[in-house]
Amino acid sequence: MVAWTLVFHIIGLVFWLGSLLVVTQILGIHVEEASPETRATLSRLESKLLRGLAHPGAALMVITGILLVSQDTNYLREAWLHAKLLLVVILVALDLRLTFRARGLQEGRTEMTRRECMILHGAISLVFLAILILVLTKPFGVHRRQAELRRGNDSAAIGNLLKRGG
Which residues are CB-neighbours of 95 under 8 A, at least 6 positions away?
Answer: 16, 20, 54, 55, 58
pLDDT in tens, 104-149: 999 989 999 999 999 999 999 999 999 999 999 988 766 555 655 5
DSSP category for residue 33 = -
Least Cα distance to 23 among 85, 111, 103, 127 occurs for: 103
Of 76, 74, 68, 82, nearest in space to 146 by CA: 74
Give residue limits of the domains in the chain.
2-141
Determine contact, residues 121/24, Cβ cutoff 8 Å: yes
Q: In this model, does residue 152 exceed pLDDT 80? A: no
DSSP secondary-structure letter at 32? T
Q: What is the mean pLDDT of residues 11-35?
A: 96
Residues 146, 148: Cα–Cα separation, whole Å = 5
pTM above 0.75, yes or no: yes
Are 30 and 105 in contact, with CB atoms under 8 Å apart?
yes
Q: For 63-112, what is each residue's pLDDT tens digit?
A: 999 999 999 888 888 999 999 999 999 999 999 999 999 999 999 899 99
